[in-house]
Structure 1
Amino acid sequence: MGNGPAVRRRKLGMELRNLRCRAGLTSNQAAQLVGWHQSKISRIETGRSGVKTADVTLLLDAYGVRDPQQRALFTALSGAGDDGGAHWWHAYRGLLPPQYQDFISLESQARTAKTLETSAVPGLLQTPDYARAVTRASLAELPQDAVDSLVEVRLARQEVLRVEYPLELSAVIDEAVLHRPVGGRRVMADQLRHLTDTAQLPQVRLQVLPVGIGAYIGMTCPFIIFSFPNIADLDVVVLDHLTSSLYLERKEDLEAYSAAFRTIQALALPPQHSLDLIAGIGDGV
């Protein structure tokens, strides 16, 4: 376990080492090809130092990696480093903590996201007013312009659901979330309508855990599982806390949380029944 940047460095370094070995190169030979000292290759592969996007591109060229999707994933996962200015969230670097930037980077390149939410609507499914109310309640000391900027970030993140190759989102929401009038009745009514609208997207699977099931695995610990195309070893579980996020990368953790999510999905209402329940709650707001 660790923080986001450290997890990504280790995983990225491990995969770059695998690519080098598959290319039949020693670390010395790889260093000579790209004009570096061997120690730089070693630091990158062990995750002891970050790697710039331009350096990843050099290594991919040297290792003969031509697949566009694989190249895009590797370069994007290095993109929260010093030179990743091309990504939209870097315009907010003065506001966003490094862990949040890293989370957005992972989210933007993941193939699938599976999330359990027990206290709020998932960020990718929030309306602007709901996001503003949640942000204001969580960060009461922030000035209004900072709150507005964080809401902009939340809304910009949602584009991953509408790009050419969108993120496939499976979300399970505790029914209690739907009854909590975040931002007031009007805001909550709009949020519930937005949930039913967004759930029509083919890449979104939304389910509700009815309160009648009682206690369930995960009820005290919301989480999200990111999975990536082509490189399963980059998959990661993210646990959100009040002041930080915890990233779990061990195979045992991934298997345990994946099994828990399957159990939760089986307990939840099917998607259409979930939408019917959301619509019914919305009618009463």
Structure 2
Amino acid sequence: MERVPAVRRRRLGEELRRLRDLAGLTSGEAAQRAGWHQSKVSRIETGHSSVTTEDVGVLLDVYAVQDRRTRDLLTMLAGRAHRRGWWHEFRDFLPVEYRDFISLETGAGRILSLENSVVPGLLQTPEYAHALTAAVMPGLAAREVAALAEVRTARQTVLRQDPRPEFRAVLDESVLRRDVGGPEVMAGQLARLEEAARLPHVRLQILPFTAGGHMGVTNSFVIFVFPQMPELDVVVVDHLTGSLHVDRTEDVAAYTAAFTGLRARALPCEESAALIARVRAEVTR
């Protein structure tokens, strides 16, 4: 488990090394064609050296990589402010870990989210996002709260991009019943969940209180899945002071199996939507 920058450098280096092998080149030959010293290629491949987006482009050209999705994903890992990098407008106050989280979220083909306390950011209403941010970070100035809430809702464009990612979320029932912002805000938020549950690329399930204790009760987590490059899959686990990024293949597999098990214990999508509607009716009485 490492912070994002190290994870990202190592993953990028591993993938570039794999592509070099597929191209049938040694690191020395690759360096010669790129006009570099061999040690630069080695440092990039081991994750010991930062790499620019221009460097990635050079290596992909050397390895004759034409697939646009592959090029976009690897450039994303190098930190490119590409056409979907709207979050760089907020870079003055967004921690690098959060910017990298959004970057991974934007590039993933499938997003698996377990939430025990609050509505996932991709499904929050602006009012809910503002109330939650103000409650979680009481020391922030009003303009900072507003900006962070704006980021939270701006992230939701990922669900409308082309191609759209598959989004699967399992929410503990407490997410529906925790009062964030008051009855009016919660009513609007629950209505938003009902709408989201009807989207063809969204699968929303609720873990009812009757499910009892379960393996995900102590931590929320998100799994970013890259179907075309499974070796880039990563898990982000929330904790008290931030988040941990888990990228070892066996660990990602364990979290994925846990998520599958939680989905099996959760209510089916139709029953989950019905529970959300019932809770909303209770809130609006």
Pairwise TM-score range, normalised by the shorter structure:
over 0.9
User: Which residue does the alignment assign to 1:219?
Assistant: 217
Secondary structure of the corresponding residue to residue 217 of structure 1: coil
1: CA distance, partners of 2:105 / 2:51 = 19
Question: Partner residue of 1:210?
Answer: 208
Asked if structure 1 preserves the Cα contact closer than 8 Å seen for 2:111 and 2:167, the reply is: yes
Check if 1:142 corresponds to 2:135. Answer: no
Instruction: Name which of 165, 176, 190 aligns with 2:188.
Output: 190
Corresponding position: 1:278 with 2:257: no
For the aligned residue pairs, the C-alpha RMSD in angstroms reads: 1.1
Assess if the C-alpha contact under 8 Å between 2:87 and 2:99 holds in 1: yes
TM-score for both structures, normalised by structure 1? 0.96
Aligned-partner SS, 2:276: helix
Which residue of structure 2 aligns with residue 70 of structure 1? 70
Residues 1:79 and 2:116 are matched in the alignment = no
Which range moves more in the overlay, 45-54 or 101-110?
45-54
- Alignment correspondent of 1:96: 94
Alignment of 1:104-143 (within 5 A): 104-143=102-141
Distance in structure 1 (CA, Å) of the matches to 2:106 and 2:238? 18
Aligned residue number for residue 36 of structure 1: 36
Q: For 1:169, what is the secondary structure of its paired residue?
A: strand
TM-score (norm 2): 0.96
- Tell me the distance in 2 between the aligned counterparts of 1:252 and 1:8: 18
**Partners of 2:82 and 2:270 in 1: how far apart?**
41
Paired position in structure 1 for 2:241: 243
The aligned amino acid for 2:66 is R
> Do structure 1's residue 175 and structure 2's residue 178 form an aligned pair?
no
- Runs of 4+, deviation exceeding 4 Å: none
- CA deviations on 1:34-91 (whole Å, 9 max, x unpaired) are 11111111111001122111111111111011111111111112125xxx37621111
Secondary structure of the equivalent of 1:20? helix
In structure 2, what is the equivalent of residue 4 of structure 1? Answer: 4
Unpaired segments ≥5 residues, structure 2? none
CA offset at residue 155 of structure 1? 1.2
The residue identity in structure 2 corresponding to 1:10 is R
Alignment correspondent of 1:61: 61
1:242, distance to aligned residue in structure 2 (A) = 2.9
Whole-Å separation in 2 of the counterparts to 1:40 and 1:138:
43
Equivalent residue letter for 2:264: A
Letter of the structure 2 residue corresponding to residue 261 of structure 1 = F
Partner residue, 1:45: 45
Partners of 2:252 and 2:82 in 1: CA distance = 31
- Where 1:247 maps in the other structure, the secondary structure is strand
Q: Which whole-Å deviations, capped at 9, do the CAs of 1:233-258 have from their partners, x for residues lacking one?
A: 11011101232210111122111111
CA distance in 1, matches of 2:135, 2:253: 34
Q: Residues 84-111 of structure 1: CA distance to partner in whole angstroms, max 9, x if unpaired?
A: 3762111111110010011011111011
Indicate yes or no: 2:237 matched with 1:266.
Answer: no
User: Aligned to 1:71, what secondary structure does the other structure show?
Assistant: helix
What is the number of residues matched between the two proteins? Answer: 282
